[in-house]
Chain A
Amino acid sequence: MNTVLALAGVVIKELYRRKDFYVLFVLTAVITLLLGSVNFFGDPKIIRYLKDVVLLLIWISALVIAITTAARQIPAERENRTIFPLLAKPVSRGQVIVGKFAGCWLACGMVLAVFYLVFGIITGSREQHWPLLSYLQCVGLQWMMLGIVVSLVLLGSVIFTAPSSNATITFVVVVGILLLGRHLNQVALQHTEPLRSMVYTIYFLIPHLEWYDIRDLITYDQKLVPWADCALATLYAAVYTALLLFAAWVVFRRKPLNL
């Protein structure tokens, strides 16, 4: 556990010392601040629309940060050859995978916390309404979803050589699932066999990331998601994350690392 936490600490340290991360992070925080504070004609529809835009921006920024951060972890270790003195210590490749995951996922959690804190303070102080539990559910489920995404990217990073191709492919896959995932079963119904079975297989195989998108809770002040559903969604995310990390370890464990 100590090794995993030490590795995670290095990932976080690297992240906050990188300038490109700062640019995206600060930019999103500033846009959130601006959009959250403007009030066009006091029209509730426009305010809701702006909230929607800001939350979408937070979603996209968090996804970009998660994917770009996780995609370069293992390739950078191999390219800079820092993996060699690391693996010469009593560190297993499984610990490297889990440590990198922990670092990226914790970093995503911190990023989400800051984004939602800025957004929550701005909208809350304007509307005098503090739906803390809604925020908690939104952040919690989005963080769980980012866990799946980070583990998916880590799996890609031990398969693809270039981080850029891994990041692009994962981004397309994640956006594809977010946009189309929920419709795949209906698409399947419109086809004949064997295509129907194939689409159904994909539908049941992919992690349904769209379930974790509950921004409407904040935008439209909807009632809370039942806590039992949240727990099930967390379990679902944990299972997918574990499976993807296991697959990454299987690939990485036998990979020759030549000096």
Chain B
Amino acid sequence: MGPIVELRNLRVEYRASGLGKGRKVAVNGLHLAVSAGEVFGFLGPNGAGKTTTMNVLLGFVNATSGAAFLFGVDVRQPIARQRIGYLPEQTYYYKFLSAEELLRFYARIFGLPRAEADRRIDRLLKLVELESARKRPIKTYSKGMQQRVGLAQALLNDPDLLILDEPTSGLDPLGRMKVREIIQRLKDEGKTVFFSSHELGEVETVCDRVAIIHQGELKVEGRVADLVEKHQTNLEQIFLKIIGYPAEAPLGLIATPRQAS
């Protein structure tokens, strides 16, 4: 079986804002392959090119050169997204619809039969604890509830690949735990998870492999355990070293899970 996510020499350029500013390279020569059943952490500082790469994978942005594939299908084909679930960092849903209506709308897009859609919607609303609010418009939900709607819609098609963009940002500890539980459950079911996060402790806990990109280029890729063993430190320290955190900076002051324990 080929890779679930594959990037081949991906390059993305943007027209920089402002006259005479030319073009900005957001991603440069990125090669990446994620196999089935892996939980893959995609890391990098702000502006590193993570979101741009995800945008290419999801078809929001076209690559300047190179290619991107999901399940071996070019991401420019909508069918490549039939088996994926996507949870954006923030909630971007039709606020005039209720959670149930929104899920029913997406179920129609996935072509789910009515009975199957009903069954999945009931199960997911129970999973994200929104059963009692299912008929209320999303605009009346709290932020946490809206995030949970996002999680439900990402799981609606029982995806083989889940793409999560900062899935725990803005969530309370309970919400974070819920997301971690779901990632773990998906991992146990043999699903592939591709996610970006700044929560490096969390990444170290749940990911099999990570890639760290900086200034649009891949700096490190490998199994979390191998990286930790090789560098004899935790993922956060590895990350800071790779992105060129100043040597004179008081790294020792940054509490790390390893030191804390």
- Residues of B that sit less than 8 Å from A by CB: 14, 51-52, 55, 58-62, 78-82, 84, 86, 88-90, 92-97, 101, 105-106, 108-111, 150, 153, 163, 165
From B111, which residue of chain A is reached at the shortest CB distance?
Answer: A2
The one of B59, B93, B95, B97 in contact with A87, judged by C-beta atoms closer than 8 angstroms, is B59
Chain B residues with CB under 8 A of A84: 58, 60, 86, 88, 92
A–B pairs, 16, beta carbons within 8 Å: A2-B109, A6-B108, A13-B97, A81-B90, A84-B60, A85-B153, A88-B58, A89-B81, A89-B106, A89-B109, A90-B79, A91-B81, A257-B61, A258-B52, A258-B60, A259-B51
CA distance A257 to B88 in the complex (A): 14
List 5 additional contacts besides A2-B111, A86-B109, A259-B89; criterion CB under 8 Å: A81-B90, A85-B153, A90-B79, A257-B55, A257-B61
A23-45 interface bits toward B, Cβ cutoff 8 Å, 1 = contact, 0 = none: 00000000000000000000000
Q: List A contacts of B52 (CB < 8 A).
A: 258
Decide if A254 is an interface residue (CB 8 Å cutoff): yes
Q: Are A81 and B92 in contact (CB under 8 A)?
A: yes
Determine whether the beta carbon of A258 is less than 8 Å from that of B55: yes
Interface residue A128 (Cβ < 8 Å from any Cβ of B): no
Contacts of B59 in A (CB 8 A): 87-88
Which chain B residues border A195 with CB–CB below 8 Å?
none
Which residues of A pack against B, CB within 8 Å? 2-3, 5-6, 9-10, 13-14, 17-18, 80-92, 95, 254, 256-259
Q: In whole Å, how far is A2's beta carbon from the nearest beta carbon of chain B?
A: 6
Contact across chains for A91 and B109 when beta carbons are under 8 A apart: yes
Chain A residues within 8 Å of B55, by CB: 257-259
Residue in chain A with minimal CB distance to B96: A17
Chain B residues, CB < 8 A from A83: 92
In whole angstroms, what is the CA distance A254 to B88 when docked?
Answer: 22
Q: Which residue of A lies closest to B108 (CB)?
A: A6
* Residues A85 and B88 in contact, CB atoms below 8 Å apart: yes
In angstroms, Cα B101 to Cα A64, docked, is 28
The reply to whether B97 and A10 contact each other, CB–CB distance below 8 Å, is yes
Contacts of A86 in B (CB 8 A): 109
Q: How far is the CA of A219 from the CA of B62 in the complex (A)?
A: 54
Contact B62 A256 (CB under 8 A): yes
Task: Report yes or no: B109 in contact with A80, Cβ–Cβ below 8 A.
Answer: no
Most chain B CB neighbours (cut-off 10 Å) among A81, A85, A95: A85
The answer to whether A6 touches B105, judged by C-beta atoms less than 8 angstroms apart, is yes
Q: Are B93 and A85 in contact (CB under 8 A)?
A: yes
Tell me the smallest distance from the CB of A94 to a CB of chain B, in Å: 9
Give the complex CA separation of A88 and B162 in angstroms: 11
Q: Which of chain A's residues have a CB closer than 8 A to the CB of B51? A: 259
CB neighbours of A95 from chain B (8 A): 78
- Give the shortest distance, in Å, between A169 (CB) and chain B (any CB): 25
Residue in chain A with minimal CB distance to B83 = A90
Name the residue of chain B whose CB is nearest to the CB of A256. B61
* Complex contacts, B95 vs chain A, CB 8 Å: 80
A257 to B56, CA, bound (A): 10
A88, B86: Cβ atoms closer than 8 Å = yes
Q: Given contacts A90-B81, A256-B61, A256-B62, are A82 and B109 in contact (CB under 8 A)?
A: no
Quick check: B93 and A259 within 8 Å, CB to CB?
Answer: no
Are A259 and B109 touching (Cβ within 8 A)? no
Provide the residues of chain A in CB contact with B97, threshold 8 Å: 10, 13
Nearest CB of chain A from residue B198's CB, rounded to whole Å: 16
The complex places the Cα of A5 from the Cα of B109 at a distance, in Å, of 9
Max count, chain B CB within 10 A of own CB: residue among A14, A80, A89: A89
**A89 to B52, alpha carbons, bound, how many Å?**
18
**Which residues of chain B have C-beta atoms less than 8 A from A81's C-beta?**
88, 90, 92
Partner pick for B88 among A6, A10, A89, A259, CB 8 A cutoff: A259
Q: Are A92 and B78 in contact (CB under 8 A)?
A: yes
Q: Name which of B52, B94, B111 has the most chain A CB atoms within 10 A of its CB.
A: B94
Partner of A89 from the list B89, B110, B163, B165 (CB cut-off 8 Å) is: B110
- The list of the 3 closest CB pairs from A to B, nearest first, reads A88-B86, A81-B92, A6-B108
Q: Are B94 and A10 in contact (CB under 8 A)?
A: yes
- A85 CB contacts on chain B under 8 angstroms: 86, 88, 92-93, 150, 153
Query: With the chains together, A141 CA to B147 CA distance in Å?
Result: 46
A257 touches B93 (CB 8 A): no
Contacts of B58 in A (CB 8 A): 84, 87-88
Given contacts A82-B92, A85-B92, A259-B51, contact A91 B86 (CB under 8 A): no
Assembly CA distance A82 to B58 (angstroms): 14
B64 to chain A, nearest CB (A): 11
Most buried by A among B52, B78, B165: B78
Shortest beta-carbon distance, A9 to chain B, in Å? 7
